[in-house]
Every structure is written in C-alpha cells, then in structure tokens.
Structure 1
Amino acid sequence: MSERSADAELAAAGGRGGADTDDPIEYFLEDMAYHGKSERTREAYGRVLRDFEAFLAEFDTTPAAADRRDCLAWVHELRGDRAESTVATYASYLNRFYGYMTQVGEFDSNPMTLVMQEMDEAIDTDPTRREVSVEDMRSFVDGISHPLERAVVHTLLKTGLRVGELCNLDVRDVSLAAPRVEDAYDLGTRAQLDGRPDTLFVDPSMSRGETANGEERTASNKRKRATLVPVDGELKAALARWLAIRPDSPSPAEPLFVSTRDAWGQRLTPEMVRSMVRTHAEAAGWYRSGGDAAENVTPHYFRHFFTTHLRDRTGDRGVVKYLRGDVADDIIDTYTHNWGDRVRKVYLSNIYSLS
C-alpha cells in the first residue's frame, strides 16, 4: 500500500480516535509508527520537523499556525548551508507532514503545496546545466556496449527515473511484450500492470531501510504517487537484451538490475549506477572531478535531459510532470485515468530516439 493510500485509510478511520494534538509533530510521528515506518525513518522526519519547529519559534509561531511564507523562509534558510538535494528532501518531509495532518482533519490546509510546486518549477527550468543535444546524447549512448550499462542508461534517459527509483525496480515492475523474455521471467505481475504491456510501474512506497517484496531496500523512491511509464521500442530492446544475460539473483524480490561485477547478482545500488555513468561521462569529456551539477553529467542530469527535451517536444507539461511523478493529486488522477489515451500516446509520439 502506498503512503498516500495508507494516509487515506487512516483519515477515513478518524486518525487515532481523538488523540491529543497539542504536539502535532509527535502525533504525526506516532501515526508513522502505527503505519509500520521504521525507527530510522521516523527519526529522520523527527529531526527535520523539530528543526522547522525551532525555526518558527524564533518568530513566535508554531507548525499549526505557519503559512506559506513561513515555510518558504525556512527553505531559504536551509539553502544557506545544505546541498540542494538535501533541501529538496527536507522540504518533502515537511510537505508530507502537512499533507497528512490536513488529510486527517487536524490542519485546515497544507502551506507547503505552493512551495513544492515552485521548487519543482525551479528544477524543471534550471538554465545553468550543460546543454547536450539529442544528437550528442545518441553518440554517447552508442559508445556503451555492455548490456547492463546500456539498459540502465536507456532507462534513465527514456523515463526520467531518479537513480534510487531505477535501483528499486523489480522484475515484477516491468511488463514487456517479448515472448522469449516472458518465458524466462515472471514479468509485470503487479496488478497495476494488468492489460498494460510495455510499461514500467514505479512504486512511491519504497523507503530506504524498509523491506519490500522480501528485500530490505538501500534507496527510497521520492514520488508523490504511483506512476505508469510507457516503454518504447528502443528501451524494450535494451531491457530484453539485458534480461537475456541477467545473472540469477539471491534476492527473493528479483531485482531488475543486478551487478555483473564484484557484487555478482546483487541489486544495483545508487552508488554503483553513479559510478557507471561517471565512467562513461568522463570518457566523453562530460565529467570532471570537482565539477558541479552545471558541468557534470550524472544520473540526475539524465532526469533533467528527459524533462527538458520531452517537454519541448510535447508542449504538454502535465504529461511530463506525471511521468516525473511530482504532480498534485488532482492532476495525476486525471492522467492515470486517461493513461492509455493521453500519456502513452503523447509519450510514444514524442520520445526522442537514442539510436
């Protein structure tokens, strides 16, 4: 069950039966425990939320009374001494807190909604990154011959997945209409993939340190909602080629991507993927030790590339935001319900070729 589904279930049940909410942060953390979230996860949320509470106290306000400008001021202060990725993580924690408290009826509204939208826009339109054309990216991909590395890079470039989301994919999360591969693997067994061939399912409920599909995860998925991502012919061919030589894995979860090196058969980790991409980017002159995000091509750069080029080709920001997994409930529900007619059609008509 996804975090949002679990939240809805608790909200429908009336939360914790009228528990004291003089301390809304403690209320939220206790409910996380009832949901089965790990102690590590609760501690991480607790640190961030208490930091936010202390920040507000300097201005004689509280989390329950905070407005959008209070939240924006806190995010601005975070940027003074933390990496942008950390700022985004902390902001997502606060958004999750407010979203839950609003859903169970303890708060009237979520002041982080607009802040998160503004942060997403800033990520989407980052003008400082290296500009790589589709033609140059084709040459880059053409230089990758190993089936695993080629499939990983194709997946990142064709889907816009975060590196942790890619690592968390299991065989059950990919539906491919490819007879030879289908005979060898139990592909696409997720209920959400029924009747949807050539599709990836990205589960938002994956969290680092928690067990999913029989395996403790080393990365978290940061999506707001479950996402169905179409698989075009090129990505399908790259995945089929990889699955044809994929080593057996000791994990009961049957990871989609596993190591073919020292950690033979083990699920790829984000660091393994970053190292893989870094090796090829260095060879292409697209990565320099000590370089920043504006200069270096990394797995996160591929997400930026996907967003920029697909958005320019489609002119449909909603479809791109759906595929990125960072849109609001009302928008994502619309795209989910019209997935076949709109998302898949728009995607397949506009996704760039890498060969």
Structure 2
Amino acid sequence: MSDAEPADVEDPITYFLEDMGYHGKHERTRAAYERVLRGFEAFLADRGITGPANADRRACLAWVASLRGEYAESTVATYASYCNRFYSYMTQVGAFDANPMTLVVEEMDESIDADPTRREITVSRMREFVAGITHPGDRAVLLTLLKTGLRVGELCNLDLRDLRLSHGGVRDAYPDLGTRGRLDGRPDTLFVDPDISTGEATNGEVRSASNKRKRVTLLPVDRELRAALAAWLAVRPDARSDAEPLFCSTRDAWGARLTPEMVRETVTKYARDAGWYRTGGGASENVTPHYFRHFFTTHLRDRTGDRGIVKYLRGDVAADVIDTYTHNWGDRVRDVYLENVYSLG
C-alpha cells in the first residue's frame, strides 16, 4: 500500500468502508465500523474539527475519554481499535499524513502494566491455585491463558489445526491437529490468526469474538502446557462444529466451542473459591482472564528482561519488531521463552 499514489479522498470513511468491502469484509463488520467512525466524526465536528484527517492525538484521546462515560472498558477498547485501524489504513494509502491514534492505543494496551493498585499474585501462590483445578478442560484453558498471555477471545478461536503438539497418542487421535502450514517444523506451538473477526466465518464457522492481533503470532508450548493440553485432548468431546475448536464445552452446551462468557464464568468460579473475586469488586481486586494476561506480562517480562519478546508474544508490538522476532522465532523467542517461563504445575 505504501508504494501506491496518494488517494484523493472526499469522504475518507466511505472510502475506507468501500475498501473493506473489496477486501471481503462482511457487511455486518463494515456496518459496525461505520457506526463507530461516524460517531467519531460527529464528536470531532462538535469540537470544531472538520473531519478525521484534521484530528490530532489530543482530540482522539478526548473521544476515547467520552466513550468511557457510556460504554464498558472492553467496548471502548474495541471502538478505539476500529478508529486506529481506519487511520492506519488511510495513512498507508496516502490519504492521511499520520495516525494520531497510535499513541492512544499503545497507552491503552499498556495500562494493564501501569496500574499500581492491581492485585499482585506471586508465581508460588498461582501454582497453589492451579493445583486445585482438576477438571482437564478447565485446567488446560487456565494454563493456556496463564502461560501464553492470550486474550480470552483468541483462546476461544483456536482450532485443532492451530496446535502442533509433539505427543504421539494425541496426533494419532486427531489428524486435524497442527495442520497449519506455518506450523511445519515447529513442534509444540500455537498459531494465533490475526484475521478472525466477530460475525465473520473462519474455517467454516462464524465467530463470536475477534482476534486483536496485527499479524500471525507463533506461541511456544512448554512441557507443562503440553501435558495439560494432551490430557484435555484425551477426553475432549466430539465438537459440534466442523471447524474442530480446540476447546469445547463439557457442561450445558456439550461439544460447542467455548465462548468468552463461558471462560469468564469458569475463571470467576475458581477465583471466587480462592478469595480472588468479589461481586462488585473492580479490576484492581478481581481476578479475571484479563488478569491472567497481566500476570503473564509481569512475570515473564521480569524473568526475561526483554520487553520486546513479551510484546511479541502478547501480539501488540509494532510491525518492524514483529518481523524481527518472527525471522528469529526458533533461536530467539522460543529459546528465551522456554528458558524463562514460570512453572505452575
């Protein structure tokens, strides 16, 4: 895109939405983007700013702040990501000079690390917590969140094809396991697909959650997580979906793909039993799937001393950093991760 002639755009939002259609994005996705972007445009107009091309970082920050009075934090983050993607695209095609949302979104991504009042749980205490989880599905889900830093929606979107596991019995039982081309020659690895959006079909199944990554991420699976995943696959029920989700329900919706709500309910149950969750408690007190991402970030970063590798694994780094670590995936990210990841077994 960057080599193309600058686009002459009268209505940048319409231009962006039309290009989304050309790229095959579902009508419902385009409608969601239009609703958010038109709202952003109206906010700017109320402040005397004529269109997104003339907005600066402070205007974008003010818009995000205005959303917090009306929407949940997760929704605010989604809307901000829509606006960021819009600006990024328009910058790449030459219609805009810069993306004023870049710093705003980065600040939002890093807020999990900057909260000094957030509950802090030691590795040894988390190890005791995990030891009390005996259900193989729940144990595999929680260990995957704790040892990879995946967002809950990204975990739910995993299919069998996204996991390469060096466990003979499991491979024989599941011929679909690890069939992604990018997993060839990479044992014990999870593939996280950035091109999964709410309401769009992936691998033949319409998804209820989006993956919030800019590019493919390859996550190492250590011995401990490999054992938990193998134990889960040994008892995993037949899936309702031909997409063969990695994680299926063993409760009321037997065989259905786990949803973010199901995962949150499971984590809440165990956290409440541990005294880590209270109805009405805030993010500084309650342990949630999002907290597990914070736990992963904090403890792995402290152990490695390499913020770049942790950001690569989290899936929220700049493109040039991703290229660097993807190129050296085998001898850089994987080795550093396996040498430093904490044990919870």
Checking the alignment, whether the CA contact within 8 Å between 2:160 and 2:246 is kept in structure 1 is yes
Partner Cα separation in structure 2 for residue 134 and residue 219 of structure 1? 29
TM-score of the superposed pair, with normalisation by structure 2: 0.96
- What secondary structure sits across from 2:190 in the alignment? strand
Identity of aligned residues (%): 74
1:5 counterpart residue number: none
In the alignment, which residue of structure 2 is the partner of 1:265?
Answer: 255
Mapped partners of 1:105, 1:180: distance in 2: 52
User: Runs of 5+ in structure 1 lacking a partner?
Assistant: 1-7
- 1:277-324 deviation per Cα after TM superposition (whole angstroms, max 9, x unaligned): 111111111111121111111111111111111111111110110011
Which aligned pairs between 1:143-292 and structure 2 lie closer than 5 A? 143-185=132-174, 186-292=176-282
Choose from 317, 325, 335 the match for 2:307. Answer: 317
* Unmatched tracts of structure 2, length 5 or more: none
State how far apart, in whole Å, the 2-side matches of 1:203 and 1:13 are.
27
Q: Secondary structure at the match of 2:277?
A: coil
* d(CA) in 2 for partners of 1:262, 1:85: 26
For residues 251-276 of structure 1, the C-alpha deviation after alignment (integer angstroms, 9 at most, x for no partner) is 11110000111211111111111111
**Which residue is equivalent to 1:54?**
42
Q: Secondary structure at the match of 2:53?
A: coil
Shift of 1:83: 2.5
CA RMSD of aligned residues (A): 1.6
State the distance in 2 between where 1:124 and 1:89 align: 19
Q: Deviations over 1:168-222 (max 9, x none)?
A: 0000000111111111112111111111110001001111111110111111111
Moved over 3 A (4+): 11-15
The one-letter code matched in structure 1 to 2:327 is H
Q: Secondary structure at the match of 2:52?
A: coil
Q: Encode CA deviations 1:67-111: one digit per residue, 9 max, x unaligned.
A: 222212222222333322222111111110011111122112212
Q: Which amino acid aligns with 2:131?
A: D
Question: Paired residue for 1:43?
Answer: 31
Say which is worse superposed, 100-109 or 235-244, in terms of deviation.
100-109
Q: Tell me the distance in 1 between the aligned counterparts of 2:272 and 2:68.
A: 29
Q: Is the 8 A contact 2:21 2:30 kept in 1?
A: yes
More divergent stretch after superposition (56-65 vs 256-265)? 56-65
Query: TM-score, normalized by length of structure 1?
Result: 0.93
Query: Among residues 287, 310, 324, which one is paired with 1:297 in the alignment?
Result: 287
- Could you tell me how far apart the structure 1 residues matched to 2:137 and 2:266 are? 10
1:116 paired to 2:105: yes
Mean Cα deviation higher: 337-346 or 227-236: 337-346
Distance in 2, matches of 1:40 and 1:127, equals 39
Contact kept in structure 1, 2:4 and 2:94, CA below 8 Å: no
Tell me the distance in 2 between the aligned counterparts of 1:224 and 1:172: 20
2:125 aligned partner, one-letter code: D
Q: Counterpart of 2:191 in 1: which secondary structure? A: strand
Letter in 2 for 1:254: E
Query: Post-superposition shift, 1:66?
Result: 1.5
What secondary structure is seen at the aligned counterpart in 1 of 2:86? helix
| 1:132 aligned counterpart, secondary structure | coil
- Which amino acid counterpart does residue 152 of structure 1 have in structure 2? V
SS in 2 for 1:64: helix
How far apart are residue 12 of structure 1 and its match?
6.7
Distance 1:44 1:91 in 2: 12
Does residue 101 (structure 1) correspond to residue 90 (structure 2)? The answer is: yes
Letter in 2 for 1:203: D
Deviates more, 1:246-255 or 1:115-124: 115-124
The answer to whether structure 1 residue 32 and structure 2 residue 17 are counterparts is no
Distance in 2 (alpha carbons) for counterparts of 1:169 and 1:68: 35
Give the aligned residue type for 1:173: D
In the alignment, the residues of structure 2 paired with residue 284 and residue 28 of structure 1 have an alpha-carbon distance, to the nearest angstrom, of 48
C-alpha distance in 2, partners of 1:349/1:238? 19
Partner of 1:338: 328
Match of 1:138 in 2: 127
Secondary structure of the structure 1 residue equivalent to 2:299: helix
CA distance in structure 2 between the aligned counterparts of 1:310 and 1:354, rounded to whole angstroms:
13
Offset, 1:13: 7.5
